[in-house]
């Protein structure tokens, strides 16, 4: 660590002199960090100010020797190093918060991800796959090589006259641990494209809301395993054919026909299969996994584990209406209704039976089977108008926050643009902008059919009356696979976290109903070096997790509906757990692809919901 003369202002004298701080640092309780570009000020208990030239590797060495006793300092050091380094190269002070004539330039840091020896220039390129090969250095607007990938249309059956085809984009991984596995990612809808997930959540390159261009994604799931993004069912995105599926059984049959063809084309037979997705994929993933497991065929359908984020797994009453007022109470600062309107919402929740339902059934263990008839609903299970508290909140909040986003309720104005045209509660594309996957040059580059592409297509599964997976196939999937993960962003109001927990508490699997204990274990995301200011992601205790009888629950504090988008480092850890690379979501081990020292301290309880607030008061379980 390069030391520079500093001022030592002793409490007993005004002596000025040089400071050499290495050994003192090793024993001091550091309590403040600041500094101009390229330096860190370290304030020690003896009032000694040490000015250290910023040399990140040396700082890490010192803090490793401190045995990570001050874990919060590590995070601050890492962030200070990244920001100060950027400011140093731009010639701007960290205190400079006003606008400048010269735009700030960020120097990209070397990727912290472990590199793996390439098996070959193109490990999956054969005569059968050549027509699907994508030139990774010729993707429009992407100024780097995205690596080996394959994309195009694949029939949903082996029939010679099959006209229905699903569009896919497959990225092989260079991680040696991925040699016998493949992960499927599905977005929801129904009818929403999985290319949304690829471009804005967990793909190798991402184009985030309000940003200028695509950038490398240090948290791409391809760093861990082979991943395929599939637009399904027929009628979604670039997929071709007339949407004929009317329920989840038919959707699963379509997908399995496609999957056999894909596995044969790329010679992936026998691979362990991990199925993941979000939102309406709470239907897709369990139904597809269940159908695959029913086949008892490990050549094509060797299902190992599943993971669903913010999933649709129960009725609207359970996942939206019943926990809605409690959700608004929990995030009261983001829903600043006046006293009279807040009282109106509370009265509606009480009179419709929602408050009492939460008090009785959101308990650990659950009191017994939940009643079939739900509060606030009519005979067919539809919410009555006078109990539609969810829409009472939704319709009013836009007066207070016109840019409020049901997918991530901490969003405020201005409305950021989205290259896919759907940045929040409302579609929005600024004048002069073009939806990325509607560009002909993009379609040509990724072997897609030339024509119109919609992020979410109409006419797909409009008549789906399949039972929610939590009331049908999900328990069997948990029982027949190695692990199942349900993750939920705490800032999501499309489907509310405690509504999903209500579903779990009403579900019976592996011989018991619900969780017997309240989720309270800390969900830990390893500290890691930031690659760029354009892809910052959090570390530390970011929520709460719990595992019982093969089912793992994890809630993520500051994530919205699309967890890999809003909390990419958290989703990266979830996938490591799903793949069996770490044994717990409370583990303080480093990312398996990013070595970085971690604190060895007691973390305490988790930090995200569940909580119950009834009549405005938080209740104990």
Annotated catalytic sites, by residue? 279, 492, 561
Q: What are phi and psi of 486, to 5 degrees?
A: -115, 115
CB 354 within 8 A of CB 393: no
C-alpha distances in Å from residue 512, one per residue of 291, 485, 507:
23, 18, 8
CB 491 within 8 A of CB 559: yes
3-state helix, strand, coil in the chain (%, to 5): 30, 15, 55
Residues contacting 528, CB < 8 A, separation 6+: 78, 112, 539, 569, 590, 591, 594, 596
> Nearest CA to 193 among 446, 503, 535, 410?
446
Q: What are phi and psi of 253, to 5 degrees?
A: -65, -40
Token couple for 512: 């018991």
Q: How far apart are the first and last CA of the chain?
A: 51
Give the integer Cα–Cα distance in Å for 528 and 112: 8
Token couple for 4: 């520079």
C-alpha distances in Å from residue 500, one per residue of 185, 215, 314, 470, 483:
20, 33, 8, 9, 18
What is the pairing mode between strands 49-53 and 39-43?
antiparallel
Token couple for 245: 């599926």
Residue whose structure tokens are 């997790």? 545
Per DSSP, the three-state class of 555 is strand
CB 185 within 8 A of CB 571: no
Cα-based angle 152, 222, 531 (whole degrees, multiple of 5)? 125
Q: Cα 285 to chain center, whole Å?
A: 16
Give the integer Cα–Cα distance in Å for 237 and 198: 13
Give the integer Cα–Cα distance in Å for 241 and 258: 13
Token couple for 461: 């599964």
Residues contacting 15, CB < 8 A, separation 6+: 8
> Nearest CA to 620 among 518, 552, 523?
518
């Amino acid at each position: 660590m390069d030391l520079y003369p500093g001022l030592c202002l002793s409490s007993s004298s005004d002596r000025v002199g040089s400071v050499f701080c290495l050994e003192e640092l090793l024993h001091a309780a550091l309590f403040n960090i600041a500094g101009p570009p390229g330096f860190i000020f370290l304030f020690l208990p003896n009032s000694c100010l040490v000015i250290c030239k910023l040399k990140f590797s040396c700082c890490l060495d010192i803090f490793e020797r401190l045995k990570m006793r001050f874990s919060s300092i590590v995070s601050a050091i890492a962030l200070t190093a990244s920001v100060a380094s950027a400011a140093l190269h731009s010639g701007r002070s960290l205190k400079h918060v006003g606008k400048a004539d010269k735009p700030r330039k960020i120097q990209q840091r070397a990727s912290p991800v472990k590199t793996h020896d390439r098996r070959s220039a193109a490990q999956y390129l054969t005569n059968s796959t050549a027509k699907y090969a994508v030139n990774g250095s010729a993707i429009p607007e992407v100024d780097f090589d995205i690596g080996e990938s394959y994309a195009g249309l694949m029939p949903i059956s082996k029939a010679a006259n099959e006209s229905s085809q699903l569009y896919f984009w497959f990225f092989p991984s260079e991680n040696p641990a991925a040699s016998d596995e493949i992960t499927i990612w599905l977005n929801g809808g129904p009818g929403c494209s999985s290319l949304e997930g690829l471009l804005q959540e967990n793909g190798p390159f991402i184009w985030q809301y309000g940003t200028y261009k695509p950038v490398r994604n240090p948290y791409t799931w391809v760093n861990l395993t082979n991943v395929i993004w599939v637009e399904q069912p027929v009628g979604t995105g670039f997929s071709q054919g007339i949407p004929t599926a009317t329920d989840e059984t038919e959707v699963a049959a379509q997908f399995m026909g496609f999957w056999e063809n894909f596995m044969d084309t790329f010679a992936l037979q026998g691979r362990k299969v991990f199925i993941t997705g979000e939102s309406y994929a709470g239907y897709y993933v369990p139904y597809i996994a269940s159908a695959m497991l029913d086949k008892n065929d490990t050549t094509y359908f060797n299902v190992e584990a599943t993971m669903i984020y913010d999933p649709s797994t129960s009725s609207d009453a359970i996942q939206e209406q019943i926990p809605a007022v409690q959700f608004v109470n929990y995030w009261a600062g983001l829903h600043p209704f006046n006293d009279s309107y807040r009282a109106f919402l509370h009265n509606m929740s009480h009179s419709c039976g929602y408050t009492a339902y939460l008090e009785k059934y959101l308990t650990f263990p659950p009191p017994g089977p939940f009643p079939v008839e739900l509060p606030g609903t009519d005979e067919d299970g539809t919410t009555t108008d006078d109990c539609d508290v969810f829409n009472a909140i939704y319709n009013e909040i836009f007066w207070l926050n016109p840019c409020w986003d049901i997918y991530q309720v901490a969003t405020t104005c201005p409305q950021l643009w989205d290259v896919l045209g759907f940045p929040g509660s409302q579609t929005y594309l600024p004048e002069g902008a073009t939806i990325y996957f509607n560009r002909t040059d993009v379609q040509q580059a990724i072997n897609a059919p030339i024509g119109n592409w919609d992020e979410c297509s109409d006419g797909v599964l409009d008549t789906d009356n399949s039972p929610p997976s939590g009331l049908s196939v999900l328990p069997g999937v948990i029982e027949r696979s190695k692990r199942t993960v349900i993750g939920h962003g705490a800032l999501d109001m499309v489907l509310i976290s405690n509504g999903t927990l209500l579903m779990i508490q009403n579900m019976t699997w592996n011989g018991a109903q619900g969780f017997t204990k309240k989720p309270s274990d800390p969900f830990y995301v390893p500290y890691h070096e930031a690659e760029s200011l354009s892809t910052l992601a959090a570390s530390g205790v970011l929520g709460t997790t719990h595992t019982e009888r093969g089912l793992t629950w994890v809630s993520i504090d500051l994530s919205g509906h699309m967890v890999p988008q809003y909390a990419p480092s958290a989703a990266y850890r979830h996938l490591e757990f799903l793949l069996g690379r770490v044994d717990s979501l409370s583990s303080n081990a480093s990312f398996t692809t990013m070595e970085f020292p971690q604190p060895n301290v007691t973390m305490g309880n988790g930090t995200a919901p569940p909580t119950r607030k009834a009549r405005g008061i938080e209740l104990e379980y």
